[in-house]
Amino acid sequence: MSVGDPPPGPPDPVQALLGLDRVVHEPVRLALLSLLAGAQEAEFKFLESALGLSKGNLSSHAARLEDAGYIEVRKTFRRKLPVTSYRITDAGRAALGGYWAALREAAPGGS
């Protein structure tokens, strides 16, 4: 550090909040990632039941996460009926961890 530089201060909470990953920050998507982080794979029905969302709402949030590369979708058939399952990716896990780290930085005393 040169003589003229300002001394390093605590991180700016506003900047930290603005830097939060918007894809993860949305409450439904954050809950989706938290649910998927606890299992290897979960069926659509489980996510729908656990979060109490409509099919369309859940699908659109899942699609957003899939576009970001945070989750993977697997479509299979069980007794001739289509079954959609989701799993969190390494990128999704990293994004979730990074989100909580950024949040701690923004609000060290809690939310």
Partner 1 sequence: MTVNLPNPGDHARLQTLTERYARFSASALGLGHLYGAAVLPLTFLLARSEVSAAGLMLWAAAVALGFIGVVRLTRRHYQTLGAVAEWPRTGGGFSWGLLAGVGVGALLAWLAERSGWVTEAFPAFRDLPWSALLALIAAAPAVFRLVDQSHTRTAGLGLLLLGGALVGGRSVFAEPWRGAAQLAVLLGLSLFLVWLALRQHAEARGVAAELREMRARLGLTVTP
Contacting residues toward partner 1, per CB under 8 A: 17, 27-28, 30-31, 34-54, 57, 85, 100, 103-104, 106-107, 110-111
Nearest approach, Cβ of 66 to partner 1 (angstroms)?
18
Q: Which of 36, 49, 52, 21 is nearest to 85 (CA)?
A: 36
Measured from the CB atom, the residue of 5 and 77 that comes closer to partner 1 is: 77
Looking at the Cβ atoms of 7 and 56, the one nearer to partner 1 is: 56
Whole-angstrom Cα distance, residue 17 to residue 53?
A: 27
Cβ–Cβ under 8 Å, residues 86 and 71: yes
| Nearest residue to 65 (alpha-carbon basis) of 106, 104, 95, 105 | 95
Q: Which is nearer to partner 1, 28 or 68 (CB)?
A: 28
Taking the complex as a whole, the smallest distance from the CB of residue 23 to partner 1 amounts, in Å, to 14
Cβ 44 to partner 1 shortest distance, Å: 7
The token pair at 49 is: 């039941």
Distance of closest approach, residue 4 Cβ to partner 1, in angstroms: 34
Q: Please say which residue, 1 or 14, places its beta carbon nearer to partner 1.
A: 14
Using CA atoms of 81, 35, 31, 33 in order, give the dihedral in degrees to the nearest 10: -90
